[in-house]
Every structure is written in structure tokens, then in C-alpha cells.
């Protein structure tokens, strides 16, 4: 069915050769936190820092001109990938900064009595930013309830949507369960019932496979979308958001500094148009160029084949864990990976703490993450403090799943054996 | 390299053309625009004829040679022009900057010298600033005279 | 007098070999905007992205543990360089983000009638951040007047210092004139006359040669100090600030997200202690490691010898320009580089626009910056809209000065010749 | 590799020691601490004797084996301890974690098992959490009883 070859795909990621050379077992199942970095990304950044290092947007000399063109070309690459106008792409230091810029900018218009609805499956970045900036204006932050599987409860949401709702903050794909929100459906419902609401989508977990959604961002009934390069085979230190220009034009900037102004004086300072308004100071130039290289790399991939491969692995892992007979194992969000779901397998085993499982699995080079995954309200929804997460990317193989399953079994034996 | 072409004789001549420098005593419209990158400033005064053509134009420019040349060329080629021609020229110059070539209206062929600026994206704004100020000044005049095309 | 060899120093910067290979003239006089990147920095980042890429502070597996240790080791390196406790070093995306975090956090305590004094020689980052965040609380932003040379007017400042002053925002070294503020003297005066003021120092232009000041940051009468790695032979996308912990403990965070919390719920979220409180989201991990490598490199240098070398070059350039007989040339801040001054030579030549000078100088590979240098109030103080700046670093040579002087002369001839 | 030592028998035994698990009916002081990284939670109840020694101690722990072991060892070695000994032990355990070795008070030698955690900086907080909760509980008790050492 799919011709995708994960072992060939590994050739794009120098980490595998490096770990082989070091003789280190390497079953990287933590791509939901940060993916590995693709070779063209590392090369593009080292090349830029070697040959064209200069500040952007400031000087007219060759190096500055080249750096600016490379930086702006990265913006073009991102705009093409997400199908947006280039002026609607704002480069940031990551999803978190992006969401805070959006929260601050949109909160300017809020007042007491206004409501901000925040999906309870959100990452803290899409919760705390609203608690800080919207609450300062007197708005109420209300969670959107979840179904037992951790998906948005559409009936509950429908009942919450009124004229008073000014913001709805959603996560496109949960970083715990992998469940995907149907943005068309939920967005249309919000547009219909809460016409004053801006819809903000945390895309950190969906951006890596954007072509899967077969739509341009502006064609969705949403207003903002944020993501981070380090979850897209790109560098740390850079991310972006897309926003509708008519909304961005009315948003004050969270960060003041160089480049984002039209003129500065002690009598009053004028702010530049978006996206510049939100890009205060020297941007993460080299990282933006690495981000562009990463998205260039993503653009050439067969995302459908990769997702099919990833989800097959996830389903196997989930099914095997759920079938461990004597154990009380919960797969957060259920074991069904047949549709609308990214390959994140989070699980909890009664009596075995995630940190202990992860630490013991590390013995055999299995890299998983244990904790609340910066999603404490969702953990609370599942009645848990923490879970273990195996997150899967295209370079993972059935061998990685076997290693994970064996490592988890060994850990359980040790932890339960005493 | 291409900087050589950038500062060609025609450009310097256009920049030095002082015939439309200064302020108008009784403009119909005015506008000041500055460049956030370098702090440059241009103030344009205009009058509009009843048929909305540009009957008078002056500029006061604290700016680089590119901006001065652009402001000078507007004076020497667009005084008397219709609003349509101004807009067309503005668009064509933008295209020339972005693509290195473009079809300029016959009266405005002189702006072809800016093709040499294409590779210097940091300088595009210098060339376009006078056009932005002109557009704003025209709007200002139309708002004041209640006359809109 | 000095044994410093700029040509040998160039071996640490791969840009020189690369430009030689490309056959490109390369007189880089824009280090005040961004220095070139040192070889160990590029190598450390590529190595990290290849071998140890993982998110920090989140997972217990080998790669995350190593990444976290490397990230925290960078913090240790910074703390050692500046002589601070490690917990008082906050990693940011740059000076601009740092100053905004500080401005937001300190503004929490402000109210109408409080005064914020902002030195008029500041970079926009240390002006606009206060205009945004302190003005929101009703505080008044007042400029600190300057002397004709562009230095802080101490008498004027003395007259401004009262109990009402809650913030004083200074620049350690002006990015236009290179004049250095005596932080001991000015800081003590502020402490004595404005006991309620927190003193914030923009260190973007001084951090690269911190050992010159022969003092630990906490021993100075100041409270915060911010800088960027890209002006310290390090990467873009990362910076830091030092702050006194007793002040930081009372500062709310500008950015909400992962890692900076103790617990998140819709009933209320608790914030972590500094520095974590101010490091929301995935930090610029690879960049922090590059920053650590840069500062490790800086730690091994003879800063006194380098500064002597740099200042000799700056003085020559300034003197030669000032002596151009028929021209009306102003050296911003004067031509005296004999003391308390960093090697930034900003000049204005009547009738020759900085952008034209820079563009023409680029013909011979001389990279200078023209514009307002994100310091419009200071430009206004000098009665200028823009100036040309040659900023000098250890890798510059007398040959670079000759090239600059010739290029400037040629530009003038061309621009004035018509 | 060193994970092997991490989960040694003594550690697992200490973690499984349920003798001080649960809550006290009438504590003098209590404290709950949680780990921001993993969400783990520990609640400690104590009573203090008139001489400020730890007369009773219980813990309720939703946490990993390391945290459980630490909480268990506090129960088995520090019940009856003076405030000074508690502080000394806390400091010595911190040192063991940071340096891989350190001089533990004779009564508290059992905490030596945590030397294996040194290289795993992400886990240091797991071991120290019970000490932090204990310190807070002691403060709480002293505040309530008005009795301070
Ligand atoms: C004095 C000064 N402050 C602040 C900044 C801003 O630093 P960044 O752009 O790295 O945030 C700069 C550099 O542009 C500077 O020179
Ligand atoms: C769903 C989601 N949102 C937001 C974030 C925060 O992204 P960053 O830490 O890159 O700012 C993450 C990753 O940690 C995430 O998974």
C-alpha cells in the first residue's frame, strides 16, 4: 500500500549514523517533544553562520542583503507550505512566544464580561498565555469540556458559544492523545454561534504534516495558527504564527524594540504594519533559515505514506500495551488509531510511575517521555498526574516498537516484582 | 558590482534636479512619509486641477540619492499627469523593482533606471517612498476638496 | 605594547576563509549589529543538533538528560563570565525579549505618578519596551538628557532623581557613539537619590568584552543587565539577562507556557521560581549551547589587548574622517577614543546620505551600516536622521580601515562630483 | 547503564516500605509539594515533640520510586530526629546528588543509595521533594504551635 521506507528516510537524519558510530542503542520515541533535525537544516544553518552572517533589515551591504533575502525567503517557504500570504506569517522564537503575542494582541480589545473559551486538552502554552493576558483585561477564562476519550465535547461547546465569547483557543492535535480536531467543523460551529470570537489554533503537533490537511490555512474557519520548527525536523529557537491581517492590524505588539516601529520618540512611537510589528529585535535569523530548510524538506515528502506508516506503528504499540493481561493499562484517548489521530501513544499503568518506566526504558536506548506533558488539565480529565508517551515519526520502525514493548515489560517486571 | 549601475549618471542627475524642490505656498494636499529603517523623510505638496490632474508638485527630501532621484523624476515626468497615470507608474515602478523589468508608461520611461535597484531589496523602499507620499498627498487633497476620482 | 594579532584571531572565524575562497573582498565593519560567528560556536551547535537533539527539562532519557545538562552548563558558563549566581541568569531569545520581560515584570508594581527615566542614548529596545509596559500602568516615561557628545548629562539626571522614580533604564555602551556609562558612578548616584528605583542596563554592546570591566555584575549598583549572543561571536536567537533574585521573585512573567509553572489549572496557575518563571516554552536550546561556546571562547581572550587594538583602529578612522578638509564631517560623540569608549565610529557627512555611502562602500567589500541604528532619540539629539557606522572587532585590521577610508572617499567623490 | 544501579534492590525496598504511608489523624503540621515537571505529589503530616524532635511522620505519595524511596527512608531513619539532624540530612542528600558522594549523618546512611541518581539531574527533584515537604511541614507546625527552634 505504501512505498514509504523508514530506513531510507533515516538517511536524512545524521543522528542515526552518529548513534551507530557511538555504539548506542537509539529508539527515539520523543518526536512529540522535539523531532530529530534533518541534515539539510544543520547544513543550511552552518553555511549561513559561516558565509552570510549579518543582521537583517538593517544594512545595505552584501552580507546583510543576502541574510535579509535568505530570511525573507524562509518566510516565503512557510507561506507556500501553509498556503498563506507572506505578510501574514510572523516569525517568532516558538509556539509559546507566538501564542503569547496573539493573546496579548487580542486581549487589548477585551473587557470585563467577555469570555475566553479554552479547550481543556490544550498544552499549557495555549492556556497560561490567556490566563496572563486576557485575565488582565477582566475577561473570564472558561474551559471547553472534553469527552471521555479527551476530545472536544461538541455539545458542551455548542452550549458555551454566545455573543460574549471573544476568543476560542484550540489545539489542532493534542500532544497527549494525538486526537485531531476537525477545524472545518468546529470552526464553522464557532463562527455560526459566536460571531465575535477569534479562533486561535495551536498547531505545534500538526504543522509537521500540514499537507495531510489538504487546505490552505486562510481557507479554514480559524484566525490564527502557531507552530515551532523543532517539532518539524527544524531548529530550536524559532517558530511562527499565521494570522489574518485584518485582525493583526488592530493588535498591539507584546514586544517593543528595533525594527517593529515606524518612528520612535519620547512623544510617541509608531508601530510598523504586521508582520514586522510583531518581530521586535534581531530575529532568530539563522534559525529562520533552518526553519525554511526544514519546511523545504517537508514540502518534498509523501505525507500520506508517512502518516500511514506512523499510525501503523502507533496502533501496534497501543494494541500490544492494552493487551498486557495482568496489568491495568490505560491508553489515553483509547487504542483506536484508525482515523483523525497522530501517532502519539500515551499510557498509564497502575502502580508503575512514568518516570520510572522511562528511566528503565532508557537502559535499552528507548527514549520516551514521562510526565504531564504540559497538559495538566487534560491529565486531570483522565484522573492522572502523569503518563508515559511514545511519540512516533517517519524514521521510526517496527524494531523501535519491539524495543519499546520489551523495555516497558522489563520495567514493569522490575517495578512490580518487588 | 551592480552598485556601479546603481549610481549611474542619469540617477545622479535626477537626484540633483532641484526644479521641484521645496514647499508649495498653498497646497491642496500634503503628506510626510518616513522610512523606518533609516529615518529618511520626504514631504510632498501638491495641487490638483479640477479634472484631478496633478497641477503642481514639490518635494522636500532628507534622504538618499535613490529617494531623491525618484522624487525628482516624479516632478519632471508626472506633473500634469492624471490620477490613473500616477497609479500606473507607481505600480510599474514597483514591478521594475521586484522583477528588474516592467512596462512603464511612455511618459514615465525615465524610472527605468531603477531596474538596477532590483537586487538591493533594502533600497526598494527608498525608491517607493516618494510614491507613497504622493498617494497620501493626493488622498489628502481629495479629502480637503471633496473631489474624488 | 600589545601582542594581540588580529590576523591570527581571524583563524577562529571561518567567514574569512570562506570569503577568500569566494574571491570576495571582505572588510566587515558591522560587528555592532552582529559579530561574525566563532568556529567553536558553529561546531558546538551542529554537533548538538546531530547527536543530542532532544527537548530539555522534560524527559529522563539519555538524550534529554544530556541536552538538559548542556543547556544548564551554558547557564553556568554565562554565570561564571558575569560573576553571578546561576539562578540569576535567565535565558531569552535576545536582548529585546529580555528587556521586555524585565519591563513587564517590573511594571507590575507601577502606578500613576511613578516615573520611569530612560536615557536618551538608548537603543529602541530599552525605550519602546517601557513605553509599552510601564505606560500601561500609568507611569510617566521621561528621557534623561544628554551632553553635546551624547553622554548622560549627570547634572540633569541628578535633578531628575526623586522618590517617585521607580525605574532607570540605561545603556552601558551606546551602539552609536560607543560611549561607556560608568555604572559604578551613575548607579551609586541613582541609589542615593532615587532609592525606590530599579536600575536596568542594556548590555548589548558591552557584554562581548565583559572582562574589561573587572567586576562581577552583582557587585555593581545596578539590578538587571541584558545582552544578545549574536553580538558576542555567538548565534542569533538567544540572549540572556541577569537580575537580582529578590526583585525577580516579585515579577510576573510576560510569557506563559510550558516549564514556567508549578501547576496549571483553570482554577489558577502557579508560577515557578526564577529563572524558570521567565523561560516559558522550549528554550533556544541549541542556541544556548552555542552561546555557552561563545562565552567559553570569550573567557579565554585577552580583552585588554583586543580593546587596545580595536580602539587604535577606531581612533585612526575617526581622525582621518574628521580631517577630510573640504567636507563637513561630524563624528557622533567626537573623535576622542582615548578612554571609556568602544570602537564604534558613527559619522555624518553633509550632503552624503549614509545609505549611499554604505551602498557605494559595498563595492569594495566594506560592510558598514547606515541608518538611525534603532536610536532615533539619540539621532535627534545630534540633529540627524541617520548616520553611517563602522563598528570594529578584534578581527579587523589597519587594512580594513584603509579600505573603509578609500571607499568613503570614493563615495563622496561620486556623490559630490555631480 | 547507571540506570541499573539506580533501581537497586535497596531502593525498591525503601520505596515499598509502607510503614509510614498515609495521613496522621491530628498532625501538628502538614505540607503538600508537587513536582512541576511530572505532576507528582507528596503530602506529609508530622507531629513535633516539645523538644522539637520529629515525633511522628507520615507521607502520602503519588510519585515515582525515587520519591517513594526517599519518603520511606525519611520515615525509617528520621522519626525521632532533631531539627538539626533533619536539616543536616537534607543538605547531605543534596550534596550526594550533586557530587555523587557526601558525608551523611550516621543515622541517615541509608540515603547513600541516591548516589546513583547523580548523573540523572532530571531526577534529583524526585529525591528531594519529600525533604522539601518535610521542611514545610515543620515550619507549618512551628507556626501553629508558636514553637520555633
Ligand atoms: C545597545 C543595543 N541594545 C539592544 C539591541 C537589541 O538587541 P537584539 O536585537 O539582539 O534584541 C542592540 C542591537 O541591535 C543594541 O545595540
Ligand atoms: C501542542 C503543543 N503546544 C505548544 C507547545 C509549545 O511549543 P514550544 O515549547 O516550542 O513553544 C508544544 C510543545 O511542547 C505542544 O506540543
Q: How far apart are CA A297 and CA A39, in angstroms?
A: 10
Ligand nearest to the CA of A30: 2
Q: How confident is the model at residue A326 (pLDDT cuts 50, 70, 90)?
A: low
Query: What structural domains does chain C harbor?
Result: 6-30+302-416 (3.90.1150.10), 43-299 (3.40.640.10)
pLDDT for D27-60, tens place per residue? 999 999 988 877 789 999 999 999 989 999 999 9
**Shortest CA distance to C30 belongs to which of C336, C406, C316, C388?**
C388
Bigger pLDDT: A328 vs A115: A115
CB–CB contact A64 B37 (8 Å): no
Compare all CA atoms of chain D with the CA of A414 and give the residue at the minimum distance.
Answer: D7
CB–CB contact C65 D122 (8 Å): yes
pLDDT for B34-57, tens place per residue? 888 777 899 999 999 999 899 999
R_g of chain D, CA atoms, integer Å: 14
For the cut 70, the answer to whether the pLDDT of residue C226 exceeds it is yes
Ligand 1 geometric centre to CA of C123 (Å): 7
**Residue A372 to residues A156, A157, A219, A380, Cα–Cα distance (Å):** 25, 24, 34, 9
Q: Measuring from each residue's beta carbon to the nearest atom of ligand 1, which residues come in under 6 Å?
A: A 257-258, 281-282; C 94-96, 123, 125, 171, 175, 202, 204-205, 228, 230, 239, 374
Q: How far apart are CA D101 and CA D98, in angstroms?
A: 8
Q: By three-state DSSP, how is residue A341 classified?
A: strand
**Predicted TM-score of the model (pTM):** 0.94
Torsion sign (Cα): A258, A264, A268, A272: negative
Q: What is the mean pLDDT of residues A50-75?
A: 92
Instruction: Give the pLDDT of residue C70.
Output: 95
A68 lines ligand 2 (CB under 6 A): no
Q: What is the mean pLDDT of residues D116-127?
A: 90
Q: Which residues are CB-contacts of C253 (< 8 A; sequence separation ≥ 6)?
A: A132, C101, C104, C105, C260, C271, C277, C278, C280
Q: What is the dihedral of CA B65, B69, B71, B72, to 10 degrees?
A: 130
Q: Among all chains, which residue has been given the C-alpha cell 526504558? A: A361
**Shortest CA distance to A360 belongs to which of D98, D127, D66?**
D66
CB A295 within 8 A of CB C139: no
Among left, alpha and beta (phi > 0; psi -120 to 50; other), residue A247 is alpha
Instruction: Give the pLDDT of residue A418.
Output: 47
Instruction: Give the pLDDT of residue B148.
Output: 56
**Shortest CA distance to C212 belongs to which of C135, C137, C311, C284?**
C311
Confirm or reject contact between A234 and chain D (CB < 8 A).
Answer: no
Q: How confident is the model at residue D2 (pLDDT cuts 50, 70, 90)?
A: very low
A348, A352, A356, A418, best to mutate vs chain D, most D CBs in 10 Å: A356
Compare all CA atoms of chain A with the CA of D66 and give the residue at the minimum distance.
Answer: A356
Instruction: Give the pLDDT of residue B1.
Output: 39
For the cut 50, the answer to whether the pLDDT of residue C22 exceeds it is yes
Q: What share of chain C in percent tops pLDDT 70?
A: 99
Q: How confident is the model at residue A262 (pLDDT cuts 50, 70, 90)?
A: confident
Return mean pLDDT, chain B: 89
Ligand nearest to the CA of A127: 2
Return mean pLDDT, chain D: 89
For the cut 90, the answer to whether the pLDDT of residue B6 exceeds it is no
Q: Give the DSSP per-residue string, C85-128.
A: -GGGEEEESSHHHHHHHHHHHHHTT--TT-EEEEETT--THHHH
| Phi and psi angles of residue C243, each rounded to the nearest 5 degrees, phi first | -145, 150
| Phi and psi angles of residue D31, each rounded to the nearest 5 degrees, phi first | -160, 145
Q: How confident is the model at residue C3 (pLDDT cuts 50, 70, 90)?
A: confident
| Phi and psi angles of residue B103, each rounded to the nearest 5 degrees, phi first | -90, 105
CA-based nearest distance A261→chain B, Å? 7
Q: What share of chain C in percent tops pLDDT 90?
A: 91
Which triple of cell numbers denotes residue B106?
A: 511612455
Q: What is the mean pLDDT of residues A191-199?
A: 97
Instruction: Give the pLDDT of residue C326.
Output: 65
A204 lines ligand 2 (CB under 6 A): yes
Ligand 2 geometric centre to CA of A373 (Å): 9
Q: What is the dihedral of CA A392, A394, A395, A397, to 10 degrees?
A: 70
Q: Which residues are CB-contacts of A269 (< 8 A; sequence separation ≥ 6)?
A: A256, A261, A263, C127, C128, C131
For the cut 50, the answer to whether the pLDDT of residue B3 exceeds it is no
Q: How confident is the model at residue C1 (pLDDT cuts 50, 70, 90)?
A: very low
For the cut 80, the answer to whether the pLDDT of residue C324 exceeds it is no
Q: Which residues are CB-contacts of A359 (< 8 A; sequence separation ≥ 6)?
A: C60, D3, D6, D7, D120, D123
Instruction: Give the pLDDT of residue B147.
Output: 60
Q: How confident is the model at residue B100 (pLDDT cuts 50, 70, 90)?
A: confident
3-state helix, strand and coil shares in percent for chain A, rounded to the nearest 5:
45, 15, 40
**Residue A361 to residues A405, B122, C382, D35, D36, Cα–Cα distance (Å):** 9, 53, 65, 21, 22
C-A interface (Cβ pairs under 8 Å ≥ 3): yes
Ligand 2 geometric centre to CA of A125 (Å): 7
A122 lines ligand 2 (CB under 6 A): no
Q: How far apart are CA A88 and CA A278, in angstroms?
A: 11
Bigger pLDDT: C137 vs C259: C137
For the cut 90, the answer to whether the pLDDT of residue C21 exceeds it is yes
For the ranges C71-75, C302-306, D99-103, the lowest mean pLDDT is seen at D99-103
Instruction: Give the pLDDT of residue C381.
Output: 96
Cα–chain center distance at A238: 12
Q: How confident is the model at residue C418 (pLDDT cuts 50, 70, 90)?
A: very low
Instruction: Give the pLDDT of residue C262.
Output: 87
CB–CB contact A65 B34 (8 Å): no
Instruction: Give the pLDDT of residue A275.
Output: 96
Which triple of cell numbers denotes residue D121?
A: 539531574
Ligand nearest to the CA of C171: 1
Q: How far apart are CA C188 and CA C161, in angstroms?
A: 12
Confirm or reject contact between A264 and chain B (CB < 8 A).
Answer: no
A178 lines ligand 2 (CB under 6 A): no
Q: How far apart are CA D15 and CA D75, in angstroms?
A: 11
Which triple of cell numbers denotes residue C112?
A: 500613576
CB A93 within 8 A of CB C97: yes
Instruction: Give the pLDDT of residue A102.
Output: 98
Ligand 1 geometric centre to CA of A339 (Å): 48
pLDDT for C253-268, tens place per residue? 999 998 888 889 998 8
For C3, counting Cβ atoms within 10 Å of its Cβ (0-12 exposed, 13-18 middle, 19+ buried), the class is exposed
Cis peptide before A357 (omega within 30 of 0): no
Residue with CA nearest ligand 1 atom 7: C95
Among left, alpha and beta (phi > 0; psi -120 to 50; other), residue C156 is alpha
- DSSP one-letter code for C179: B
CA-based nearest distance A242→chain B, Å? 24
Q: How confident is the model at residue D147 (pLDDT cuts 50, 70, 90)?
A: low
Q: By three-state DSSP, how is residue D97 classified?
A: helix
Active-site residues of A: which are they? 374
Among left, alpha and beta (phi > 0; psi -120 to 50; other), residue C127 is alpha
**Shortest CA distance to B145 belongs to which of B51, B80, B79?**
B51
Architecture of the D3-143 domain:
Alpha-Beta Complex (3.90)
| Phi and psi angles of residue C54, each rounded to the nearest 5 degrees, phi first | -170, 160
For the cut 50, the answer to whether the pLDDT of residue A309 exceeds it is yes
Interface A:D, Cβ pairs < 8 A = 52
CB D118 within 8 A of CB D100: yes
CB–CB contact D120 C65 (8 Å): yes
For the ranges A28-32, A273-277, A333-337, B2-6, the lowest mean pLDDT is seen at B2-6
Cis peptide before A294 (omega within 30 of 0): no
Q: A146 has which bridge partners?
A: A152
**Residue A192 to residues A110, A187, C353, Cα–Cα distance (Å):** 20, 9, 55
CB C207 within 8 A of CB C73: no
Q: How far apart are CA C67 and CA C47, in angstroms?
A: 11
CB–CB contact A261 B36 (8 Å): yes
Binding-face residues of A in 355-414 toward D, CB within 8 A: 355-356, 359-360, 362-363, 370-372, 376, 379, 385-386, 414
CB–CB contact A58 B121 (8 Å): no
CB–CB contact D120 C60 (8 Å): yes
CB B48 within 8 A of CB B36: no
CB A129 within 8 A of CB A202: no
For the cut 50, the answer to whether the pLDDT of residue C111 exceeds it is yes
CB C33 within 8 A of CB A59: yes
pLDDT for C345-390, tens place per residue? 999 999 899 999 999 999 999 999 999 999 999 999 999 999 999 9
Q: Give the DSSP per-residue string, A86-123.
A: GGGEEEESSHHHHHHHHHHHHHTT--TT-EEEEETT--
Q: How far apart are CA A35 and CA A236, in angstroms?
A: 10
Amino acid at each position: 500500500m505504501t512505498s514509504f521506507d523508514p530506513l531510507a528516510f533515516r538517511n536524512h537524519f545524521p543522528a542515526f549514523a552518529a548513534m551507530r558510530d557511538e555504539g548506542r542503542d537509539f529508539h527515539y520515541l520523543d518526536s512529540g517533544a522535539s523531532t530529530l533535525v534533518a541534515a539539510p537544516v544543520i547544513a543550511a544553518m552552518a553555511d549561513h553562520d559561516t558565509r552570510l552572517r549579518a543582521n537583517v533589515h538593517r544594512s545595505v551591504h552584501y552580507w546583510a542583503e543576502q541574510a535579509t533575502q535568505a530570511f525573507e525567503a524562509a518566510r516565503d517557504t512557510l507561506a507556500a507550505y501553509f498556503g498563506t500570504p507572506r505578510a501574514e506569517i510572523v516569525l517568532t522564537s516558538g509556539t509559546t512566544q507566538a501564542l503569547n503575542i496573539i493573546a496579548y494582541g487580542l486581549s487589548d480589545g477585551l473587557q470585563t464580561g467577555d469570555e475566553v473559551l479554552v479547550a481543556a486538552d490544550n498544552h499549557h502554552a495555549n492556556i497560561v498565555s490567556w490566563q496572563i493576558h486576557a485575565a488582565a483585561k477582566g475577561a473570564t477564562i472558561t474551559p471547553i469540556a472534553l469527552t471521555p476519550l479527551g476530545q472536544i465535547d461538541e455539545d458542551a461547546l455548542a452550549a458555551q458559544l454566545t455573543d460574549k465569547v471573544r476568543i476560542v483557543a484550540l489545539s489542532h492535535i493534542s500532544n497527549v492523545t494525538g486526537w485531531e480536531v476537525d477545524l472545518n467543523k468546529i470552526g464553522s460551529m464557532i463562527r455560526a454561534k459566536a460571531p465575535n470570537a477569534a479562533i486561535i489554533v495551536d498547531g505545534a503537533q500538526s504543522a509537521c504534516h500540514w499537507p495531510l490537511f489538504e487546505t490552505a490555512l486562510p481557507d479554514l474557519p480559524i484566525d490564527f495558527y502557531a507552530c515551532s520548527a523543532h517539532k518539524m525536523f527544524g531548529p530550536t529557537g524559532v517558530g511562527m504564527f499565521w494570522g489574518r491581517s485584518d485582525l493583526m492590524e488592530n493588535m498591539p505588539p507584546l514586544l517593543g524594540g528595533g525594527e517593529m516601529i515606524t518612528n520612535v520618540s519620547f512623544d510617541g512611537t509608531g508601530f510598523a504594519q504586521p508582520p514586522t510589528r510583531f518581530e521586535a529585535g534581531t530575529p532568530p535569523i539563522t534559525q529562520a533559515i533552518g526553519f525554511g530548510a526544514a519546511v523545504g524538506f517537508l514540502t518534498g515528502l509523501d505525507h500520506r505514506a508517512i502518516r500511514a506508516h506512523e499510525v501503523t506503528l502507533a496502533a501496534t504499540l497501543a494494541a500490544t500495551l492494552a493487551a498486557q493481561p495482568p496489568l491495568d493499562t490505560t491508553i489515553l484517548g483509547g487504542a483506536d488509531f484508525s482515523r483523525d489521530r497522530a501517532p502519539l501513544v500515551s499510557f498509564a499503568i497502575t502502580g508503575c510511575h512514568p518516570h520510572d518506566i522511562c528511566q528503565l526504558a532508557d537502559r535499552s536506548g528507548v527514549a520516551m517521555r514521562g510526565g504531564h506533558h504540559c497538559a495538566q488539565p487534560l491529565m486531570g480529565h483522565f484522573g492522572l498526574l502523569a503518563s508515559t508517551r511514545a511519540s512516533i515519526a517517519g524514521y521510526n520502525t517496527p524494531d523501535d516498537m519491539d524495543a519499546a514493548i520489551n523495555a516497558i515489560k522489563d520495567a514493569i517486571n522490575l517495578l512490580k516484582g518487588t | 558590482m551592480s552598485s556601479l549601475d546603481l549610481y549611474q549618471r542619469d540617477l545622479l542627475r535626477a537626484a540633483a534636479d532641484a526644479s521641484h524642490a521645496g514647499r508649495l505656498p498653498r497646497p491642496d494636499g500634503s503628506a510626510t512619509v518616513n522610512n523606518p529603517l533609516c529615518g529618511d523623510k520626504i514631504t510632498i505638496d501638491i495641487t490638483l486641477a479640477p479634472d484631478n490632474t496633478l497641477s503642481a508638485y514639490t518635494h522636500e527630501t532628507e534622504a538618499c540619492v535613490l529617494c531623491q532621484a525618484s522624487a525628482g523624476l516624479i516632478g519632471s515626468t508626472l506633473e500634469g499627469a492624471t490620477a490613473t497615470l500616477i497609479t500606473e507608474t507607481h505600480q510599474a515602478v514597483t514591478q521594475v523593482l521586484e522583477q528588474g523589468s516592467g512596462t512603464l508608461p511612455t511618459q514615465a520611461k525615465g524610472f527605468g533606471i531603477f531596474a538596477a535597484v532590483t537586487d538591493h531589496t533594502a533600497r526598494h523602499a527608498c525608491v517607493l517612498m516618494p510614491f507613497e507620499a504622493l498617494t497620501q498627498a493626493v488622498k489628502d487633497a481629495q479629502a480637503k476638496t471633496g473631489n474624488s476620482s
